[in-house]
Amino acid sequence: MAEYTPLVPSGPFTSTTSAAVTAGKCLVASGDDTVAHSGGASVAFVGVAAFDAASGAKVTVLRGGVHSLDASGAIAAGELVTTAASGAVAAHGTPSASNAVQVIGVALSAAASDKVKVLLFR
């Protein structure tokens, strides 16, 4: 029987930035093996930047875990969140068949346009 090994097991991985990124901001797939800050709700979420990186540089992308992220607007504890502009997160609202894939985690604390503690699902 053949064996399979993933390119990157679950956990952090390295990617190239297509624009400058800031530590602690949500990243999305932005091209061929590149990442950038999220620009709004997106299905292309890949993780959180581990450190600041210039455009074209390598950055470590953190996946899963609990993070303190910038909140865009009010978010209640227990509310589902999605990516937002400038690498932040926003309240997702009620998932539907067309937007449920945009959910990236759940807020563990309440926030009003400041930092929110989020458990990332992916």
User: Is 110 buried (19+), middle (13-18) or exposed (0-12) by CB count in 10 A?
Assistant: middle
pLDDT computed for residue 113 by the predictor: 83
CB of 82 within 8 A of CB of 102? yes
**Which tokens go with 44?**
């292309």
Instruction: Give the three-state DSSP class for 102.
Output: helix
Per-residue tokens: 119: 């458990």
How far is residue 50 CA from its own chain's centroid?
Answer: 11
Structure tokens at 10: 């679950």
pLDDT bracket for residue 96 (50, 70, 90): confident
pLDDT of the residue at 4? 81
Q: Is the pLDDT of residue 38 over 90?
A: yes
pLDDT tens string 15-35: 999 999 999 999 999 999 999
Given a contact cutoff of 8 angstroms between Cβ atoms, the answer to whether 28 and 80 are in contact is: no
Q: How do the domains of the chain map onto residue ranges?
A: 13-63, 66-120
One-letter identity of residue 89: V
How far is Cα 42 from Cα 29, in angstroms, rounded to an integer? 10
